[in-house]
Amino acid sequence: FDSSLLPNFLIERALGDNVTVALNGSGGDELFAGYGRYYPLPVERNYLNLPGWLRRGIVEPIAGAVSPMTAWRLRRAGKFISDRGGYLNDHLTQFPEPMRRIIGNATAEPVPSQRAYFDAFDGVADTAMLAADLETYLPEDLLLLLDRTTMAVSVEGRVPFLDHRFVEAALAVPPSLRNPGGQQKALERKMAEPYLPHAILNAPKQGFASPALKWFSEAALAGPAKKILMRPAALARGWWTAPGIDALFAAPHCHGFRIYSLLMLELSIIIHIENEPLVTAPTGGLQDYADAT
């Protein structure tokens, strides 16, 4: 349930007023290492510079006593060296084990899909991380999102970065040339240098997600969203508990995207599985929908 679906849809709808075919940049981050998860974060690098006995024997136990999520992030940092596929997999989960405990989820550990693709790649670890995203996140999220948002407004989306010859050439480039010094998308920026102004080439990376943190900080949306997630049928599944939902809504600035994911999941179940009377998108606001379910 990618929250960037909504802004993407709005842009595609605006494009549809003037064009029928549009180019999309999906694949650039996966081919040229544009995501932050391909590199240890600054705080992770500092942590990994500490002696192992200090990290495992003192820092992690103290962090675990204060914040289970902080301790989990520290353990994740260690995987960058010992289990790069696991590090990548951990970066993509919205609900790691400490968060599942917070919401009261009693299910088993999620399948490490990213790690499986990472391990299957015959090559260096840096390129294996890109290949894992090309096999999972790109087709299962980004391209699916592109197809649905463009087709909804009768626009054809084309993805030039994913020409198979271009993909093969990009993945054959050694990391030392692709990202010298750990610079994100360094080779891609170099390729674009003759065509783009300096201000665009060196601008910081910007996400394209919905403002979920702000949405669920406001009562007008938080109230009905919480009511939907607190439905008896939702709580009966055991995926989350009432205290767990309370904990998420108590800190929407931290958990807005998690709330969004759970809300989209619950609405999908209501509409497509439970077959409630409102089987199509509501014509009113979310509060009307919450009251009806």
Residue 279 has pLDDT above 60, yes or no: no
What predicted TM-score, i.e. pTM, was given to this entire model?
0.84
89 pLDDT band (50/70/90 cuts)? confident
Backbone angles phi, psi at 19, to 5 degrees: -135, 160
pLDDT digit string, tens, across residues 104-128: 987 766 667 788 888 888 888 899 9
Ranking 195-204, 261-270, 284-293 by mean pLDDT, the lowest is: 284-293
Residue 277 has pLDDT above 60, yes or no: no
Q: Are 11 and 152 in contact (CB under 8 A)?
A: no
Task: Identify the DSSP state of 23.
Answer: E
- The secondary structure of 54-119 as a DSSP string is HIIIIIHHHHHHH-HHHHHHHHHHHHHHH-HHHHHHHHH-SS-HHHHHHHT--PPPPP-HHHHHHH
Distance CA 89, CA 71 (A): 17
Backbone angles phi, psi at 32, to 5 degrees: -120, 20
Classified as helix, coil or strand, 155 is: coil
Distance CA 248, CA 290 (A): 18
Residue 282 has pLDDT above 80, yes or no: no
pLDDT digit string, tens, across residues 24-73: 999 999 999 999 889 888 888 888 888 888 888 888 888 888 888 888 88
**Residue among 199, 210, 197, 203 at smallest CA distance from 11:** 210
Amino acid (1-letter code) at residue 107: T
Strand partners, 158: 23
